[in-house]
Structures are given as C-alpha cells and as structure tokens.
Structure 1
C-alpha cells in the first residue's frame, strides 16, 4: 500500500460530497424560506401600523378642528386595550402652518416620549427600531392637511415570529440532514459492497497470482457488467498464462539448439565482417585513386589546352623565320653574283625587321603561356605552403584556362585587392578554382550563350580568407544540392562526367586548407559557394623578400 495521505475512501468521499450538497441545498432553501417569512411578518406589521395610524387620524380630525385637546385625550384612552400601541401623539398646525403638540397617549407602564416634530419627513414611512416601529401619519380634512399622528408600535410580536420561524427551520433542517445521512449510509453500503468485493478479488489475484478466482455478480447493473468484464479478463489472462508457460517450456527447449546456431552464425558473421572491412578498404583505395586520377586528368586537359595554345605563336615564329632564311639565301646569292642592289638590301632589311618583330611577339607570348602553365602545374602537383599574391594567382589560373574558355562568351569578374599577399597552399586553391570554373562552364552555363562568374576575395580578421564564388547559371536541383559533395554525384553520367569534381573540391577545402565550404543554390537562380580557410597575411615588401 502507498503511504500517500491524499488517498480518499470512496465511502467517506461519497458521504462527504452528498452530505455537503444536501446541507448546502437545505441551507439555501432554509435561508430563502426564512427571508420570505420575515418579509411577510414585516409587511403584516407595517400594514397593522398603517391601519391604526389611519384610524387614529380619522378620529382626531374633529378634535383638531374644534381645538378640543381634552376630548382627544379621552378618545385616545380607548387605545389602552391594544397591547402593541406604546405611544400616540397628535400634532395640529399653527397659524403659520408649522406643527405643534396637541394631545398624546402613553400606554400604562410605558414611559412617554418627547414630541417628534423634527422627524415628520423621516417617519413618513414606518421605521423599525430594536423592539418597536414608528410612523407619522398626516391628518387631512377634505384633502387639506390639518395635523399629524405619531405612533410608536411594539415589534415584539415580529421578533417572536422570527424566533419561532428560525427554530422551526433549524429543527426541520436537522431532521432532514439526519434522514439524509441515514439514507446515504444505506446507499453507500449498496454501492461500495460490490466494489469492496471486487477489490478483495483483485488483491488476492495480485498477491497469489491465482487467475482462477472470479468476482460475484451484483444486483446493480453497472457493477454486474464490471464483474462480468473483470471475470472475462481473468479468464483470458489465465489462458494467456497457461500458454505463456507452455511457450516458455518450448523456448527452453529451443534455447539449447539456438546457442549452437548462434555460435555458428557468429563465426560466419565475423568472417563476412572481415571480408566487408577488406572490401571497404579496397573501395577507399579505389576512391583515393579516382580522386588522384581526377587531379591528373585536370592537369592533362590543361596540358593539351596549353600545348594547342602555344602551338599557334610558335608556328607563326617558325613561318617568319623560314621566310627570313629564304630572303637571306636569295640576298646571299645576289651578293656572291655581285648583282645585289640597294633596293633589294633595303627590302630585306624592312622585311627582316617585320619578321623579327613577329618572331619576338609570338615567342614572348609562348613564353608567357609556358611560364604561367609551369607555375600552375607546379602548384597543382604540390601542397606545400608558399607566399604569393592572390590576384596574380587568379590571373595565372585564368590564363591557363584561356584555351578552354576562348571559344565561350562567358565573363569572369575577379574582385581582389592587388596588394593581398598571403602564405598558404597555392596548389589546392588552384585545383579548387579550376574545378569551380569548369563546373560552371560545363554544367551551369549549359545551353547558355553568355554567363557571368563573380569571384570575391576578402580577408576576415587578418587570419582567414573568405572566397565567394557565384555564377548566374541554371542552378542545382534540391535533390542534387543535398549531396553535391558526395563522390560520384554527376548530371553527366555516361557523357564523360566522373562525379568526383565537387568531392575533390570539398576534400581540398576541408583537408588540404583546413577550411569550410557551403553552398546556396536554387534551380534556375545560379549557384553560390562560400569558402573560408585560414591564411597568413603579409605586406607587399615582406612578400617580395620571401618570394
């Protein structure tokens, strides 16, 4: 049993609630009854006082007109037979209309009262004091006011009636409560007896776990249905327990054979798990190899593009130098045969200058391409830190991509401080930018004639670099955006897309640069990448010395 002191008994709660309701109802009814009775008694008393006042006023009319106060006092003595009338005053009006004392009556044994001339307005309606009631009634003759009658009337009868009514009401209330309490006891026994019986059965079942017990039927329909439902529950529980015991016995029999099977399957599972670990390791190796191949493929594409781009200026230089050799051989023959003319020499000098200028410009252009490609190639194959100008790095990257971008009409806008020198790993940054730009060209600007790429580079707190990359391409669908950095995710499967480009970017940002990358894109609204990674900033002079 719980030690909770707030648990109530149904018997006590039932008796308390019903008695409280009954007592409240009786109290309200008694109060209303008393209130109505007392009001009726007061109304009767007021009516009696008004009647006596009116009669006395009528009888005093002639005496006031005749101004015979002695006769009026004789007339008032007849009131001695009425035990309720204590005092009577008759007031007449002076020549100026003010009231004055005329005659009076005082019951034997009752002290006289002073004239109440100042209370005429106050006592125009009956006023009940402690044990008497007072009233001043006007005396009229043919409608004209000729005086007033003052009466002090006993209220003892009213007090006696009220006391009697209270006593009767209390007696009836107590008797009714006693009868109600007796009936409630009988009713609660009728209601709680089947409950007590059911509680005993429940306690025995709980303690002894004997589900063969059954509750007795009751004369009350609800309790009878409850007993039937409880018996049905016990019956089903008994059947379930029998079945449970049988199942437990069967389980004990099966447990012995299951242990052997579990041991066998455990060994098999360990072997399968070992194979799975080996397979997973091979998969990781294969994935790393694919990522490395992706890097090399990017470098290979760049080599092919730069080789094709360098081939043009070198070809023009070869052509110009061949022409120079032809002209020089012709000039030599003319010199040896002594047919050389001044005009031929002048023409050779002019053409020589023009061809040498062509050779110089094209060789210089090729040297720039090769130098830029060399730096980019070194950066891509190296993950060591070095000091560099970020703006110059972007120029080198864009120059190395020019062979792939020159046929497109896309615009790349770079916003970067020209004095921004940092110490970081140029190789991963190079790879990241190339992959992002080529992703925009291949995927974002597909079926677009002209696209815009904005690259915004800035420092945060002098020790972190924030790079915001935006394009106005077709954007990325939500189902791809959620796993854009996963390996092998591509929209060009079967068309040359490996699905490793953005996975490579994610690895370079998070592992090589120890930074973070986030994406924001809606289908049809372009894409935005935000890359933040730690760097060490240097001023231009220190950067030149260390470079």
Structure 2
C-alpha cells in the first residue's frame, strides 16, 4: 500500500528554513538599524535647524533691541534685518527666513523682514500660526523643516525668527540607506540559499539511498540485504535500526515458513478428526433441537396453564359473585308469590280490602325493584366475565374503550378485590377508543394486580394502585401501572421478567406471572415494558405499544 505523494522534501524544508530564518533575522536587524539611524539623523537635522534659527536670532538681537522713533529709523532697521537675512545664502539648505515683531499691547505681530532663496518660492506668512512652529516640524510631503525661535533680551521677547530649511538630504540619505540594505538582504538570502542547497543535498542523499534500498527489499522480498554506514551519525543509528529490523523480519519469516509446514501436517491430521467428530456433532445437534422444541412446548403449555388457572379463578369468583344477586331475586320473588296467594284467597272470599290491596301493590313494587336490581347486577357481572373470558382466549384485535376495558377487568376480579381494603384508581380519558388486542392487555392487568396483591401488599393493609392510560404523540398507547407496596428486592430486580423467578418459591408461586406479562407486551402487543422500583418504595411499570386510534 502506497501513501499519497508528499509535497515537501528534506532539501526543500532545509532551503526554506535557512532562507526564512536568515531573511527574517536580516530584516529584523535592518528594521531596527534603520529606525535607530534615521531617528539619529533626523534628530541631528532638527538640532541643526534649531541652532541655525538661534544663531539668526542672536545676530538680529542688537538690531531688534533698538526701538525706531520714526519711519526712517524703521525703514533703516528693516534694511539692516534684510541684509542680515541675506547672509543665509551661505547655507544652501535654507529656503526661507522671516523676522516678526513681538505683539505689543495686543497688536498683531508684523513681518519686519523676509528672505527667499532664488531657487525657491516664497513662504506664507506665519503671523497667525506662530505657536505651531515653536517646535521644529518636519513636512515629509514637501521635504522641508520649519521652526520659529523667539528673539529675547533677558526675559523680554523682541520678536521671532522663522526659518524654513530643505530636508531633501535627509530623505536622500534614507532612500540610499534602504537601497543598500535591500541589496544586502538579497545577497544574504542568495548566499543562504546556496548554503542550504548544498547541505540539503547532503542530508537528502542518504535518505534517497535508503528509500531505494527499501524499495528493492519490498520488491524482491530479500530480507538478507543490509545497509552500509553513512557519514552522518544520526543516519547511522537509523540504518542500524533498519538492519536490525530486517534481520528480525528474516528470522520471523523463516520461523513462519517452518510453522506453516508444521501447520500443514497438523491440518491433515485435524481434518480426519474433524470428519469423525462432525458426524457425532450432527447427531448431538439433532438431539438438542428436539430437546429445545420440547422445552418450548412445555413453556407454552405452562403459560397456557397459567392463563387457564387465572381464568378458572375468575370463573369461580364470578360464580360466587353472581350467586348473591340471584339469591336475593329468588327470595324477593318467593315473598311476592306468598303475598299473591293471600290476596288471591281474599279476593275469592270477597274479603279483600282496599288497604290490603294497596299494601300488596307497594310491597310488589318494592320486591320487583329488588328483583330488577339484582338481576341487572348479575347480568353486568356475566357480561363483564363473558367479555374478559373471550378476550383471554382470543388474540384478535378489536375496538375497545380503554377505560371500559380496565373497569371490566376490575369487575372480573371483584370477588378477590372485595376481600381486601386496597384502592385502585383509574386515570384514563372517557373517550379513549383504540383498536388493539384486548385479551393480552386484559391478562397483563390481571397479572400486575395479582402481583401487587400477593407480593407488594403482603404486609400492607391499605395499599394503593394507580392505572394511568394516555395516548402518545406517535400513536402509541402508554399505560403506567404503579403501587405503593414493598417494591422488588434488588436481588431479583434484573431477573424479574425471567421465567420461574419468584419470592414465593414453595408457597404456590410459579414465577411465570411477570414472564407472561413480558411476553404479552413484547410479542402479542409488539410493545415494550420498563420497570422502576426501589425496595420499600413501591413499583412502577410503563407499558408502551402501538395502536390504531378510533375517533370518539
């Protein structure tokens, strides 16, 4: 298997590394040197401008110290100042110079004299902007330096000198310096490239030779080849390691070939043994399949027996429950026949009185009401039992009202429930109609209730059972069954749905009740069941299975 071609080599990495490091170092050094040199030259230039301005101020100070008394003296002073400024011709970088009077009594300063080099243009008056140029200003756009210095005698300011000097020499120096440094950087990078190229080749050649040798080994599978020594110590270490690896691979292949020969011999013997044992295994598998089939039959039979036993208990209870209202109806009808015989005799003897007839009518109405109520109660019990019995013996889906189905299940268990003081609460919408298999759901509820009565409420006198039914958003029926009994012991909690798991072993418990519930939920109803329980804090079962919703 070959890897994708790499885009970098040791030679290129070495070249780029040297170029980047040397170029970066040179560039950083150049930038720092430029900054320091330019700052020093700039400061020197500004100092020269300040010195020149101070020199001019010192030269004109005697002239400015004499205050003219008339216009002739003032004209004479102006000429003297102008002649003084023309002496700046000996400074080739001076472009302009002005002399301004100091403001007296709030008056605006006046320009007393000016100087403009013949090769330069006149500078604007700075009368309204004197304070701005008290510090020398370098104008990079026009390449000039401007400064204004005061003309002082002791603590009195007589006027101001404005000097405007060219800074072309400074910028020419900066430009020339940059050109020299750029050329130096280029030369250094070229030299670094050549050095990196040479040493990169020295580093890459041994690796290329190693690569070619490894390719030869891979093609020929001749692991007896060995690498020769290199001039680089690290490469020598690597080649020694590769030689060791090749020797171990050669040794491993030799052992593997020997093992393959031994394995072929062993395989020939094993084939004979496998053929012999295959016949025996087939026979054992047939016996195992037959045993598993019998086991499944026995398990299904036990589950059916459990269902029929539950149905038998329900039949006995309903028969006892129905006997009571029928007995009351017979008693009431017997009393009514006796009273009818008496009335009949009085009627034949013509001794029947209106009061006796009225009393007979009232008693008959009362007895008929008793007969009707008890017969209606018996009819309801029989109807509920009939529906539950049909559901338990059938797994066909039918349209059911969920709340009515739960109530019918409780009605069929009434003989057992009225012997205890526990309460069962049903929380279900009246109009929740679905299409589902009523039989498995009925059996599930019976087993859960019986499990609570037998196990959870064994030491509880006034237990509480809640049955909550809701329709989920994904068209599934969710039934939550919970009680406040003793809960499920931790030792059997994880095995509660396994067959033959019970805490009543030897006391009549088969251990199939919860196993039957699990099978009915997961197989008959295609749903799932979840258990939450802590010992001493009751139990909660959550059943969820798909249904077809019927609109009310």
Fold in common (TM above 0.5): yes
Contact 2:406 2:442 in 1 (8 A): no
- Aligned match of 1:397: 412
1:170 aligns with 2:182: yes
Per the TM alignment, residue 278 of structure 1 is displaced from its structure 2 partner at its CA by 0.7
TM-score (norm 1): 0.72
Per the TM alignment, residue 281 of structure 1 is displaced from its structure 2 partner at its CA by 0.4
Distance in 2 of aligned mates of 1:169 and 1:384: 98
1:52 aligns with 2:64: no
Alignment of 1:179-328 (within 5 A): 179-298=191-310
Distance 1:246 1:167, change over 3 A: same
Distance in 2 of aligned mates of 1:530 and 1:57: 106
Distance in 1 of aligned mates of 2:446 and 2:322: 20
- Aligned match of 2:512: 500
Distance in 2 of aligned mates of 1:249 and 1:398: 76
Distance in 2 of aligned mates of 1:422 and 1:65: 120
1:113 aligns with 2:125: no
Distance in 1 of aligned mates of 2:138 and 2:438: 112
Per the TM alignment, residue 274 of structure 1 is displaced from its structure 2 partner at its CA by 1.4
Which stretch of the first structure deviates more once superposed, 166-175 or 225-234? 166-175
- Aligned match of 1:12: 12
1:99 aligns with 2:109: yes
Distance in 2 of aligned mates of 1:105 and 1:478: 111
Distance in 1 of aligned mates of 2:200 and 2:273: 63
1:125 aligns with 2:140: no
Per the TM alignment, residue 289 of structure 1 is displaced from its structure 2 partner at its CA by 2.4
Contact 2:322 2:378 in 1 (8 A): no
Match of 1:471 among 483, 486, 494: 483
Distance in 1 of aligned mates of 2:297 and 2:214: 68
Which stretch of the first structure deviates more once superposed, 471-480 or 67-76? 67-76
Per the TM alignment, residue 534 of structure 1 is displaced from its structure 2 partner at its CA by 6.4
Distance in 1 of aligned mates of 2:120 and 2:406: 125
SS at 1:401 equivalent: helix
Distance 1:217 1:491, change over 3 A: farther
Could you tell me which runs of 5 or more consecutive residues in structure 2 were left unpaired when the two chains were aligned. 67-72, 327-366
TM-score (norm 2): 0.71
Which stretch of the first structure deviates more once superposed, 275-284 or 34-43? 34-43
SS at 1:99 equivalent: coil
Summarize deviations over 1:141-187 as a string: whole Å, max 9, x none: 22212222233334343244324422432343233323323332333
- Aligned match of 1:545: none
Contact 1:140 1:146 in 2 (8 A): yes
Distance 1:249 1:424, change over 3 A: closer
Distance in 2 of aligned mates of 1:37 and 1:400: 112
- Aligned match of 1:439: 451
Distance in 1 of aligned mates of 2:434 and 2:194: 100
Distance 1:145 1:309, change over 3 A: closer
Would you say how many aligned residue pairs link Structure 1 and Structure 2? Answer: 486
Distance 1:62 1:233, change over 3 A: same
Per the TM alignment, residue 280 of structure 1 is displaced from its structure 2 partner at its CA by 0.3
SS at 2:413 equivalent: helix
SS at 1:497 equivalent: coil
- Aligned match of 1:518: 529
Distance in 2 of aligned mates of 1:468 and 1:92: 106
**What do you get for the CA RMSD once the two structures are aligned?**
4.7
Alignment of 1:57-76 (within 5 A): 57-66=57-66, 68-76=77-85
Contact 1:491 1:497 in 2 (8 A): yes
Distance 1:240 1:530, change over 3 A: closer
Summarize deviations over 1:21-62 as a string: whole Å, max 9, x none: 321221222122122212211111111111121112111112
Which stretch of the first structure deviates more once superposed, 274-283 or 468-477? 468-477
Per the TM alignment, residue 113 of structure 1 is displaced from its structure 2 partner at its CA by 2.6
Contact 1:467 1:530 in 2 (8 A): yes
Could you tell me which runs of 5 or more consecutive residues in structure 1 were left unpaired when the two chains were aligned. 315-356, 540-547
Contact 2:10 2:203 in 1 (8 A): no
Per the TM alignment, residue 478 of structure 1 is displaced from its structure 2 partner at its CA by 5.7
Distance in 2 of aligned mates of 1:377 and 1:93: 124
Per the TM alignment, residue 282 of structure 1 is displaced from its structure 2 partner at its CA by 0.9
Distance in 2 of aligned mates of 1:103 and 1:383: 128
